[in-house]
Structure 1
Amino acid sequence: MRGIGMWFRMLGPLEVVVDGRPVDLGGSKQRATLGLLLLQPGRVVPTSRLLTALWNEEETPVTARKILQNAVWGLRRRLSVLSEDGRDGVTLSTRAPGYTLEVAPERIDLHLFRQMATEGRAHLASGAPEEAARHLESALKLWRGAVLSDLTEVGIVWPEVTTVQNARLDVLEDWFEAQLECGRHASVLGEIATLVENEPLRERACGQLMRALYRCGRQADALGVYRRLRASLVEDLGLEPSRELRLLHQAILEHDPALHAAQQPAVRIAAPAVVPDPPARRHVSIVLVRAGFDRPVGEPRETDLVLDELDLRIRQEIESRGGTVVAALGTDVLGLFPGRPYATDHAERAVRTATAVCDAFARTPGSAVPGGTEVKAAIVTGEALVRRRGAEGGVTSLSVSGMLPHIAQTMLTQAPDGEVQICPATRKALARSAAWERHPELSGHQATHVGGASAA
């Protein structure tokens, strides 16, 4: 990111570079405010979201809004001075219910990263691995460390940061795939091994490591990678490896000649599954959240944007607590929290997710969403059929079926707006984990189970 003008660098410590020189951004609150606005350029970031991003709920000072206003004022003055000739088109504006940073996306390294990654993936999908590797490597070179690392060092923890960090790992796996298809397995073996060591449950990377090891004549080591991954999946999640990985394992056992080819579509972990895995009966908690409005919020386009914001916030709450969004239709989002061996907190995590969503969208001044927002949720715990499905890019997804989703739908229909309805099994699981004692705020969201017995 070189050249004349103002550039914003987020893929590492937050920096603003003007004509090739970094400039002072002020204190930590001012920097954090800019960082959050840059994660959503051109979009209104509500004041309430900025406040929760800058302070934990128990640490929010009574002067928080004034501090935020001062931070925005300082940023606005600094940016106006840096772009005084107007050539960069950078504007920090007040727009209800918060603030928006207008900046050309191509002046933000995160946008350039995503653009290069998209181009690289297109080349990879079209059978041009050399071009793919070049674009993907250029995207990865934009990174100077963990995203917004200076802010995370002072305790900033945002779901958006985790999403960007995970996007880098996805692109790194794409680059590995391109290198393998170019026959450069020996040169990337060490980097793949490092990723697997740091992220042992990433199945795509494990598959890539197995293929690289096998091509280097290390069949036993390749099979060892599979054994370790399978043991971790079974012990931690109660799941078997994906169908693609099982096919690759079998191909290595049989010395399949296709493994030595430059491209192996039959066993590539990046290929979508043709046949989904059979369902497994698992003990889970599911949360069904519905968000909407009791009156129109504006033009259809404006309503769509607000609904998209609601959907994004709900997904972030689910994923930040270890859940998976398995379905979404209209204003309904279904999250899955599988039970894990030696851990019984899946019901608690589901309840805390639902209450956090309801609390975030409470009708309070400066709320993240317009007044008239209606949010409710239903949580059911029990056995369900969980199926793993292959997805584009080698990422596996989960789906859930059986009676539990049906019961959750019934409960949600009868749940009052702003409330969380909990089935008896969920409440029993919470009692075992002492969640009610640790988190007394959850007791305010009890409701009756309308699918059968009452929540006692």
Structure 2
Amino acid sequence: MLHFALLGPMEIRVDGEVRTPSPPMARRVLAVLLTHAYRVVPTELLIDELWGEHPPKRARKTVQTYICHLRKALGGDGGSGPGGGDPVETHPYGYRLRLQGCQSDVWLFQERVRAGREALARGEASEGVATLRSGLELWRGAALEGVETGTVLGARATRLEELRMRALEQRVAGELALGRHHSLLEEIRDLASQHPLNEEFCAQLMTAASACGQRGEALGAYARMRRAMAEQLGLEPSERLRELQRDILTGQGESPSARTAARGPGRSGEPGAPFHLPAAIGDFVGRLDELDRIERAVSGDGRASEVRVVTVTGSPGVGKTEAALQVAHRLRGRFPDGQLRGLLCRKDRTPRDPGEVLGELLAAVGYDRAVLPERVDDLARMFRGWAAGRRFLLVLDDAVSRDQVVPLLPAGTDNTVIVTSRCRLSGLPGSVTDVELGPLPEAVSRQLLTQVIGPTRARREPAAVSAVVAKCEGMPAAVRAVGGRIATWPHRSLADFAARLEDDGQRLEELSSPHLDMRRYLVESADRLPRSARDVLAALGRAATAEVTVADLALGLCRSTSSIERSVELLAAFHVVRPVVRDGGYVLRLAPLIRLAFAGGGHTAPAPELAAR
């Protein structure tokens, strides 16, 4: 029998005999196959993990060599795994491990964590704690210890460590629920010291210390957490932690999480319904038709048999989030059970896992994080169960794909979801309305700039106002950025700013502000695209002419026409490329600001020069 161990140094055993591959690269390939259990792993993904953006010329051949090493290690000299057959299956575009009859400490850990959480959720604390403890005992060190990790394995290892941390938090929470405060106090002190920014461990230390009559230590733990968060993150502790501190100061021994568990998340119509949307901006202008379409879809004129979903899409900086928030705040009274927001990308533009977002939403409506399940399906069921019978609005901001959105959709025909995204989202379930935002008309852009710089100054130089907004290309973010710069210099003429924007080499810098690096913002908008599409985008940005054909790109990038067309379709879906009819055929055109961003070296790989037509 094959046994794979990844929760610590990698160890592979075949019928009890150690068969861990010795070549480091072969271990990395095996780790990728194992962390994508039961799925075919594309060769391209293996190449990305092993060499990143700079693979060798014979990368595919080298991967085949590593697969050969694995087959020998896992199947012996004959190359057959347990039960016969090749232990590593070859597929047209990648490889998959045959895992029938195999064991893995990762799978066993995940199963015990799931079972432990379910026991805690049923109120069976002793069983839940024992099961979680047995799962945590499988760890022999850091995940994938001794295996060099690239982007793929690094993310998987981080995910395993996060699961381990959550399981530890839940095991401690379960033991506190059993009244084991004294026996846990020393362990929680160590955990809080090792993880000074972990609010869960801080709350548990405060709870245990207070229950043991050590209020000074409980308050000291809060003070250390607050100081660490202020110094390292510039943030204050959560409301939950602040409430726990107030309870200890006033002599109330029960923690907020215990009270929440006793009464459950708030029911429909309670005064504490969660309204967590950020404020809408005050200088919003235009978009009357689009806002009307969004509002009619959200309001539910006409009965829907499913949850209402409104997608708001458009190019970077066009104002999708602002439009969604405008409608949401106008219609707050229609949603007595709250308005929630889920951020689907991090500040560095990387997508967030749906399970992470669901955990935040469930915590926002009153669930204790310590007893939430780990699997996305279980979290989704819990969220749908909370949503049923309620009437609330959910804003999902900056979605990357349909698959990221679907687990987050609530149940109930009285609920509505607004999804903002840079790409078109097809195939979403529910009663779906699609609203696409284009550039602001020039008149609306002039109105916005006038609001930012003041009407008196705008009236003095109307021609310069028109020249400035023309270079912003209907992008509200650009208008606000340059308007803020103009307002900073009250005695400088608008004509001077307009002249600066005429310089293509400096325009993006002139349209930036302390809060917005326009070049970086536009370049990072392409980071979610696959490498093949980014190559096409870079080639378009550096072309000698503003209009390029598919044939030009195929020749310059040494790719097939069909391959280029697939990349163009994806770029069009992301609102960065527009096919235009010309002389009976199509030419491709980038928005000028995006073209400037990529002409300035916004792509990591060199793009070929395309001749002017």
TM-score tier, shorter chain, comes to: 0.5 to 0.7
32 and 122 in structure 1: CA distance in 2 versus 1, 3 angstrom threshold: same
Q: Output the CA distance in 1 between the equivalents of 2:200 and 2:527.
A: 32
Q: Output the CA distance in 1 between the equivalents of 2:224 and 2:571.
A: 41
- Secondary structure of the residue aligned to 2:128 is helix
Letter in 2 for 1:107: Q
1:167 correspondence with 2:163: yes
1:46 correspondence with 2:42: yes
Contact 2:526/2:534, CA 8 A, preserved across alignment: no
Q: Output the CA distance in 2 between the equivalents of 1:244 and 1:10.
A: 35
Q: Output the CA distance in 1 between the equivalents of 2:11 and 2:89.
A: 20
Contact 1:106/1:112, CA 8 A, preserved across alignment: no
What does residue 441 of structure 1 align with? Answer: 603
Offset at 1:204? 1.9
Q: Output the CA distance in 1 between the equivalents of 2:577 and 2:37.
A: 36
1:63 correspondence with 2:68: no
Which stretch shifts more, 130-139 or 323-332?
323-332
Contact 1:8/1:109, CA 8 A, preserved across alignment: yes
* Structure with bigger gyration radius: 2
What does residue 397 of structure 1 align with? Answer: none
What does residue 259 of structure 2 align with? Answer: 266
Letter in 2 for 1:265: A
Q: Output the CA distance in 1 between the equivalents of 2:520 and 2:153.
A: 18
Q: Output the CA distance in 1 between the equivalents of 2:519 and 2:197.
A: 23
What does residue 355 of structure 1 align with? Answer: 526
1:250 corresponds, among 237, 246, 263, to: 246
Offset at 1:147? 0.6
Contact 2:116/2:132, CA 8 A, preserved across alignment: yes
What does residue 14 of structure 1 align with? Answer: 10
Offset at 1:191? 2.9
1:73 corresponds, among 68, 72, 76, to: 68
Offset at 1:275? 4.5
What's the CA shift string for 1:210-242, capped at 9, x where partnerless? 112212222122222223333444554454433
Letter in 2 for 1:30: A
What's the CA shift string for 1:171-192, capped at 9, x where partnerless? 1101111111112223333333
Q: What does 1:167-246 align with in structure 2 at a 5 Å threshold?
A: 167-246=163-242
Offset at 1:115? 0.5
What's the CA shift string for 1:136-187, capped at 9, x where partnerless? 0011011111111111489996212111111111111011111111122233
153 and 46 in structure 1: CA distance in 2 versus 1, 3 angstrom threshold: closer
Q: What does 1:313-324 align with in structure 2 at a 5 Å threshold?
A: 317-318=350-351
Percent identical residues: 29
- Secondary structure of the residue aligned to 1:57 is coil
What does residue 112 of structure 1 align with? Answer: 108
Letter in 1 for 2:533: A
| TM-score normalised over the length of structure 2 | 0.49
Letter in 1 for 2:99: V
Q: Which runs of 5+ in 1 are unaligned?
A: 291-310, 336-342, 379-411, 446-456
1:330 corresponds, among 387, 398, 402, to: 402
What does residue 389 of structure 1 align with? Answer: none
Q: Output the CA distance in 1 between the equivalents of 2:200 and 2:564.
A: 41
1:151 correspondence with 2:166: no
- Secondary structure of the residue aligned to 1:99 is strand
Q: Output the CA distance in 2 between the equivalents of 1:370 and 1:47.
A: 20
Q: Output the CA distance in 2 between the equivalents of 1:169 and 1:249.
A: 24
What's the CA shift string for 1:419-446, capped at 9, x where partnerless? 998999xx9xx9xxxx999x7427999x
What does residue 391 of structure 2 align with? Answer: none
Q: What does 1:95-134 align with in structure 2 at a 5 Å threshold?
A: 95-104=91-100, 107-134=103-130
352 and 179 in structure 1: CA distance in 2 versus 1, 3 angstrom threshold: farther
Contact 1:90/1:104, CA 8 A, preserved across alignment: no
- Secondary structure of the residue aligned to 1:11 is coil
- Secondary structure of the residue aligned to 2:528 is helix
What's the CA shift string for 1:70-115, capped at 9, x where partnerless? 0011212322228847338873111132111121486111111111
363 and 413 in structure 1: CA distance in 2 versus 1, 3 angstrom threshold: closer
Which stretch shifts more, 66-75 or 18-27?
18-27
What does residue 301 of structure 1 align with? Answer: none
Offset at 1:194? 2.9
110 and 370 in structure 1: CA distance in 2 versus 1, 3 angstrom threshold: farther
What does residue 404 of structure 1 align with? Answer: none
Contact 2:105/2:138, CA 8 A, preserved across alignment: yes
Please give the root-mean-square deviation of Cα atoms over the aligned residues, in Å. Answer: 4.8
Letter in 2 for 1:255: G
Offset at 1:317? 3.6
Offset at 1:354? 3.9
Which stretch shifts more, 238-247 or 181-190?
238-247
Greater RCO between the two (CA within 8 Å, min separation 6)? 1
Letter in 1 for 2:62: I
Q: Output the CA distance in 2 between the equivalents of 1:102 and 1:135.
A: 28
Q: Output the CA distance in 2 between the equivalents of 1:23 and 1:229.
A: 46
Would you say how many aligned residue pairs link Structure 1 and Structure 2? Answer: 358
66 and 444 in structure 1: CA distance in 2 versus 1, 3 angstrom threshold: closer
Q: Which runs of 5+ in 2 are unaligned?
A: 267-271, 282-312, 316-343, 359-395, 406-419, 422-513, 536-558, 580-587, 608-613
Letter in 2 for 1:356: D
Q: Output the CA distance in 1 between the equivalents of 2:153 and 2:589.
A: 27
414 and 34 in structure 1: CA distance in 2 versus 1, 3 angstrom threshold: closer
What does residue 442 of structure 2 align with? Answer: none
- Secondary structure of the residue aligned to 1:150 is coil
1:27 correspondence with 2:23: yes
Contact 1:354/1:377, CA 8 A, preserved across alignment: no
361 and 242 in structure 1: CA distance in 2 versus 1, 3 angstrom threshold: farther
Q: Output the CA distance in 1 between the equivalents of 2:34 and 2:605.
A: 37
Q: Output the CA distance in 1 between the equivalents of 2:252 and 2:95.
A: 58
Q: Output the CA distance in 2 between the equivalents of 1:48 and 1:121.
A: 36
Offset at 1:135? 0.4
| TM-score normalised over the length of structure 1 | 0.64
Contact 2:28/2:149, CA 8 A, preserved across alignment: no
168 and 332 in structure 1: CA distance in 2 versus 1, 3 angstrom threshold: closer
Q: Output the CA distance in 1 between the equivalents of 2:527 and 2:101.
A: 31
145 and 97 in structure 1: CA distance in 2 versus 1, 3 angstrom threshold: same
- Secondary structure of the residue aligned to 1:246 is helix
